[in-house]
Chain A
């Protein structure tokens, strides 16, 4: 094992390298590109075996990933944001093909307006595709989760592709010390790729991904995929235990931070949750009994673990770094559905923040905690809040003022014929 200063992207590339992947279909997109650049350099320098091919789109890239996996090799790929959505049709396909490859998604806000910094509308758009999802908060987690993802994807009772998600910029371009395990231990942990019955060979012809007629067979295959995804919950727990045993790091399906005696909780995914963690420490210094609940697994959704973590608490704030237009936070809805019908449920409040990389400040976490305390006192659920500060609004008004001034000047010049 060695310790290296790695970006999230570097950690993802190391994950692929240590998982002994055979094939890397690729397509560049910010902020993911560093992953494929790193792997390309390693392959060029003979530091990593494997074949990398740059396709002409993410739609083709995901098709090639699935097709290669269906032929019987271990596949790694990566994308982000618009790329994930451009390939969306194929996400549903490759899940239906039951091809167990791993794809990194580096989260980035979706157009329009087009932007570069992160939120989770991209990866949540893939929520119902059949790809499993692991969400990471640190660069170490990105590397570790990539190795774990292969075990999960290739498990005989799962056989589904897995997305490992990390936030663009905040994680993808942030260097952290990362323990890089030695390749032998990783090879032992991940194991040889077993294509099982998925292959194309002259000696054993097969038809894959064929059409079905009617709802009966269609439902059968769709139910099978769902049940396989559900089975991944137990498989994940085993993989996490084995990972801990071998590498000394434990990455449970749901991370509970200072939750044992907590009255209140933040619920968040991905790396902005580390901001919440810091806020928890400071709030605890002020004797507010609050903790953080961070689902690492989004699909399959760890309902039982969330129920165990949240029931009995006074009030819980789900802070969504995404927005389902006309409904609200996606994670809030998911958590609400997990808690529905449970005894001793907490008040469940919804906050939207961190869209397009917008920061969530410590002040805002304190205010959310205060809102939870008030809600508990009054025993009412607060209205959903879209986080936005006065200074942000002032900055936005300045931009609008410039836009107006420029427009007026343009119009005036047009009338006087100055242009």
Chain B
């Protein structure tokens, strides 16, 4: 890799390659992550996009991207990446384009596509060892349609299709492990509120060939019901409470890149968001709160046991 490895906050790029003035909501955690990611990936990229919030980034005749973009459909953004990568390889091989015209192929989708409708197409790209980077901005629901629950919605969260006092009865699907189980080149979780951790992972992902996946938790003011000014704080709390583990997978091994040894209670994260208000008002729902806390405990106990064992 020719570029210098980022080691400190001060070394983060301040280029702000991605344009402003997009129709994303104020405080969008997905856009925050994308800004940071794009600064590192750069403009020699082509994005394939699936139906979701970020489809509205490129609305004729505007785009915030300095590189290229292709909207596909909700189920098949990874297949779009396949077509573009294959075509670029053919053009390079036949010398119909010079090597410097090559592009990094990136797929950008929300959790609705990544966890659900697009999973078959995603699985196919891993099978075929496609050289591309998949970025999922995970706001834990079908956000663009008004935050109905998705396969990524956490237990007990209130969504517009889980309005009861129990919230969403299901559990968040472990997409990281689904990817990792198929031995791709690289998988990592990131969050915009931890820009240094994010930057290191994107740099690493950029330097590797093969199927790579970046799963970015995307605090969502409209979907999670909080004031946009707290988006970064909530992102940090997701990490500090242990709810959003920052980790990566490479060469068959999962490594946690930031272990919160003195984890804050999950309540500190949950109370910041209206989607969990029913756990505290009109009275505290102790069993559900304990359930959520114990899941986090159990996850990290396993992690620490494995790292010590």
Contact = CB atoms under 8 A, between A and B. Distances in A.
Indicate, yes or no, whether A interacts with B: yes
Interface of A: 22-23, 25, 51, 53, 55-57, 59-61, 63-73, 89-90, 93, 200-203, 205-213, 217
23 contacts: A23-B87, A25-B83, A25-B86, A53-B86, A60-B120, A63-B72, A63-B76, A67-B48, A67-B72, A67-B82, A68-B83, A71-B91, A93-B73, A201-B103, A202-B44, A203-B101, A205-B43, A205-B66, A206-B69, A207-B65, A208-B71, A210-B58, A213-B59
Contacts of A207: 58, 63, 65, 68-70
Contact of A63 (B68, B79, B101): B79
Given A67-B82, A207-B65, A210-B69, A202 B60 contact: no
A56 B79 CA distance: 9
Contact of A23 (B68, B86, B96): B86
B127 interface: yes
A51 B60 contact: no
Contacts of A200: 46, 68, 70, 84, 88, 103
A211 B73 CA distance: 11
Contacts of B102: 202
A71 B121 CA distance: 19
B84 A68 contact: yes
Q: Which of B44, B76, B103 has the most CB of A within 10 A?
A: B76
Pick the 4 closest A-B CB pairs, nearest first: A67-B83, A60-B79, A71-B87, A56-B124
B138 to A, nearest CB: 22
Interface string B84-108: 1011111100101100111100000
A53 B80 CA distance: 13
B91 A55 contact: no
Given A25-B82, A207-B58, 19 more contacts: A23-B87, A55-B82, A55-B124, A56-B124, A60-B79, A61-B79, A63-B83, A64-B82, A64-B86, A67-B84, A72-B87, A89-B73, A201-B103, A202-B43, A202-B103, A205-B43, A210-B63, A211-B59, A211-B71
B91 A202 contact: no
Given A200-B46, A210-B58, A210-B63, A59 B75 contact: yes
Q: Is the interface of A mostly helix, strand, loop or mixed?
A: mixed
Q: Which of A22, A60, A209 has the most CB of B within 10 A?
A: A60
B90 A22 contact: yes
B67 interface: yes
B60 A53 contact: no
B126 to A, nearest CB: 10
A69 to B, nearest CB: 8
Given A57-B121, A59-B75, A200-B103, A67 B63 contact: no
Contacts of A64: 79-80, 82-83, 86
B79 A59 contact: yes
A73 B78 CA distance: 19
Nearest to B120: A56
Given A93-B73, A202-B100, A55 B79 contact: yes
Contacts of A53: 82, 86, 128
Given A23-B86, A60-B121, A209 B59 contact: no
Interface of B: 43-44, 46, 48, 55-56, 58-60, 63, 65-73, 75-76, 78-84, 86-91, 94, 96-97, 100-103, 120-121, 123-124, 127-128
A43 B7 CA distance: 47
A201 B92 CA distance: 11
B101 A90 contact: no
Contacts of B94: 22
A67 B128 CA distance: 17
B97 A201 contact: yes
Given A65-B83, A71-B83, A202-B44, A209 B56 contact: no
Q: Which of A23, A202, A205 has the most CB of B within 10 A?
A: A202
B56 A205 contact: no
A67 B66 CA distance: 19
Contacts of B68: 200, 205-208
A251 B105 CA distance: 42
A247 B283 CA distance: 84
Contacts of A60: 75-76, 78-79, 82, 120-121, 124
A147 to B, nearest CB: 21
A51 B59 contact: no
Contacts of B55: 211
Contacts of B97: 201
A73 B93 CA distance: 12
Nearest to B76: A63
A66 B123 CA distance: 20
Given A63-B79, A211-B55, A217-B60, A68 B70 contact: no
Given A64-B82, A205-B67, A217-B60, A72 B101 contact: no
Q: Which of A56, A65, A217 has the most CB of B within 10 A?
A: A56
B81 to A, nearest CB: 8
Contacts of A205: 43, 65-68
A25 B127 CA distance: 15
A212 B59 contact: yes
B88 A71 contact: yes
Contacts of B96: 72
A307 B9 CA distance: 74
B127 to A, nearest CB: 7
A57 to B, nearest CB: 6
Contacts of A211: 55-56, 58-60, 71
Contacts of B91: 71-73
Given A205-B66, A210-B63, A59 B76 contact: yes
Contacts of A67: 48, 70, 72, 79-84, 87
Nearest to A22: B90
Nearest to A73: B87
Contacts of B46: 200
A53 B94 CA distance: 18
Given A56-B123, A212-B59, A70 B70 contact: yes
A51 B90 contact: yes
A63 B124 contact: no
A67 B79 CA distance: 8
A201 B82 contact: no
B22 to A, nearest CB: 12
Contact of B59 (A66, A202, A210): A210
Contacts of B103: 200-202
Contacts of A206: 68-69
A28 to B, nearest CB: 14
